């Protein structure tokens, strides 16, 4: 009998890696190949301790329990950055965004909106978590640049050229007697990277190149590191932008935590990534303008949005 195994995401240990060592070089290669093939991988990253993650999850439960009148105070000029409440198309879903979450001041500003007398503990935990995850993002980016031999450009993609949106989602289980489940439809993210984690309730699915679905089962201390449209464009299409969705069919609330990164200024394909086999696909573009354009046009929910924005 032929056994058909389910596809799974590559798992890569991202702890204790130092540039220049053999394990660093090997990991550069694994990370790049995983993103080329799947758009993403599961990173084991213990720098975010189980304790910190649990504290963040506990504070999210309390955050979502606040009255809607309080949560709607979280507004943003950028569509989808602020509070998204349950509505008739997605009655079981809610989401809150914290802009610039790697800055303690910005997290405190958000906390002061939610708790007028402040919530120092909340701010401190979210800020630590976002900062540690931003370091994972920086490391993965450096590895891919190095693997393609274009490390000399990394400075323009470092932390001071990046903005970070921390967004937390709550998916409620289907109500008794009803068959509606909370979902997120198939899409690619409009970020550079998205780094995801969750509580113990699964739901995230990744689409493979041959249209199979991987249901992600998070390991302890793990994060799904996803390349998104802008990193795909930067790589001239060598990297895959992760197509994914959420189908929540657990019996308990699902909380997911995403750190989205955005590149400030111009993004352009390095000359080294253009050759006969890979003719230039994307003109230089401004990521933040792409977000603006995409939220207005909303024609494509997947990586084709990039082609329509700055395709050659």
- Note whether 243 and 187 are within 8 A (CB): yes
- Return the residue of 204, 227, 273, 306 that touches ligand AKG, per CB under 6 A: 204
Sequence-distant (6+) residues with CB within 8 A of 174 are 92, 180, 181, 182, 249
Phi, psi (deg, nearest 5) at residue 133 = -70, -35
**Which range of residues in 43-51, 103-111, 184-192, 231-239 is near Fe ion by CB under 5 A?**
184-192
11-13 and 40-44 strand pairing: parallel
Q: Can residue 184 be called a binding residue for ligand AKG (CB under 6 A)?
A: yes
Q: Which residues contact 82 (CB under 8 A, 6 or more apart)?
A: 74, 75, 76, 96, 97
Report the residue from 55, 94, 99, 189 that binds Fe ion according to the rule CB under 5 A.
189
Q: Considering beta carbons, is residue 219 or 312 the nearer one to ligand AKG?
A: 219
In angstroms, give the least distance from the CB of 246 to Fe ion.
Answer: 8
Question: What does 169 interact with, of ligand AKG, Fe ion, none (CB < 5 to 8 A by kind)?
Answer: ligand AKG
Angstrom CA distances, 280 to 31, 36, 141, 192, 252, stand at: 23, 17, 21, 19, 47
Q: Which is nearer to ligand AKG, 143 or 246 (CB)?
A: 246
CA 146 to the chain's CA centroid: 22
Tokens of 97: 């965004």
User: Smallest distance from the beta carbon of 261 to Fe ion, in angstroms?
Assistant: 13
* 189 sits near ligand AKG (criterion: CB under 6 A): yes
The closest alpha carbon to 12, from 147, 126, 152, belongs to 147
How many C-beta atoms surround the C-beta of residue 219 within 10 A? 11
Instruction: Please state the closest distance from residue 282 (CB atom) to ligand AKG, in A.
Output: 22
Would you count residue 169 as binding ligand AKG (CB under 6 A)? Answer: yes
Q: Which residue is nearest to ligand AKG (CB)?
A: 256
- Angle (CA) 56 62 64, round 5°: 100
For the beta sheet containing 204-207, the strands, ordered from the edge strand earlier in sequence to the opposite edge, are 183-187, 244-247, 204-207, 213-215
Give me Rg for the CA atoms of the chain.
19
Is residue 258 at the binding interface for ligand AKG, with CB under 6 A as the rule? yes
Dist. CA 72–CA 64, nearest whole Å: 11
207 binds ligand AKG (CB under 6 A): no
Residue 99 interacts with Fe ion (CB under 5 A): yes or no: no
Q: Is 133 in the site for ligand AKG (CB under 6 A)?
A: no
* Residue 243: φ, ψ to 5°: -85, 130
Name the segment binding ligand AKG (CB under 6 A); options: 21-29, 61-69, 196-204, 230-238. Answer: 196-204
Cross-strand pairs, 35: none
Q: Minimum CB separation from ligand AKG for residue 77, in Å?
A: 19
Q: Is 246 in the site for ligand AKG (CB under 6 A)?
A: yes
Residue 229 in contact with Fe ion, rule: CB under 5 A: no
42 binds, among ligand AKG, Fe ion, none (CB under 5 to 8 A by kind): none
Count of residues that bind ligand AKG according to CB under 6 A: 10
Least spacing, CB of residue 102 vs ligand AKG, in Å: 18
Using rule CB under 6 A, residue 9 touches ligand AKG: no
- Residue numbers of the site for ligand AKG (CB under 6 A)? 169, 184, 189, 196, 198, 204, 244, 246, 256, 258
List contacts with Fe ion (CB under 5 A): 189
């Amino acid at each position: 009998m032929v056994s058909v195994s389910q596809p799974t995401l590559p798992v890569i240990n991202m702890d204790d890696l130092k540039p220049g060592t053999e394990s660093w070089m090997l990991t550069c290669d694994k990370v790049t190949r995983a993103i080329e093939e799947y758009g993403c991988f599961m990173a084991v990253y213990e720098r975010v301790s189980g304790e910190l993650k649990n504290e963040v999850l506990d504070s999210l439960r309390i955050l979502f329990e606040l009255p809607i009148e309080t949560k709607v105070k979280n507004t943003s000029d950028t569509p989808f950055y602020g509070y998204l409440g349950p509505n008739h198309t997605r009655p079981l879903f809610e989401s809150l965004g914290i802009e610039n979450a790697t800055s303690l001041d910005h997290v405190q500003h958000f906390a002061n909106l939610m708790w007028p007398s402040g919530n120092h503990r909340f701010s401190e935990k979210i800020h630590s978590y976002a900062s540690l995850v931003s370091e994972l993002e920086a490391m993965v980016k450096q590895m891919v640049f190095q693997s393609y031999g274009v490390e000399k450009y990394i400075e323009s993609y470092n932390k001071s050229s990046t903005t970070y949106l921390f967004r937390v989602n709550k998916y409620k289980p289907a109500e008794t007697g009803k068959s509606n489940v909370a979902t997120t439809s198939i899409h690619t993210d409009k970020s550079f990277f998205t780094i995801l984690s969750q509580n113990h309730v699964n739901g995230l699915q990744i689409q493979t190149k041959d249209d199979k679905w991987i249901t992600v089962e998070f390991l302890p201390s793990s994060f799904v590191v996803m390349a998104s449209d802008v990193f795909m464009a930067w790589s001239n299409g060598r990297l895959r932008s992760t197509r994914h969705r959420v189908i929540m069919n657990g019996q308990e609330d699902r909380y997911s935590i995403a750190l989205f990164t955005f590149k400030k200024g111009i993004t352009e394909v390095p000359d080294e990534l253009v050759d006969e086999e890979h003719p230039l696909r994307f003109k230089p573009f401004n990521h933040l303008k792409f977000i603006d354009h995409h939220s207005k046009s909303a024609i494509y929910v997947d990586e084709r949005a990039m082609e329509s924005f700055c395709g050659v």
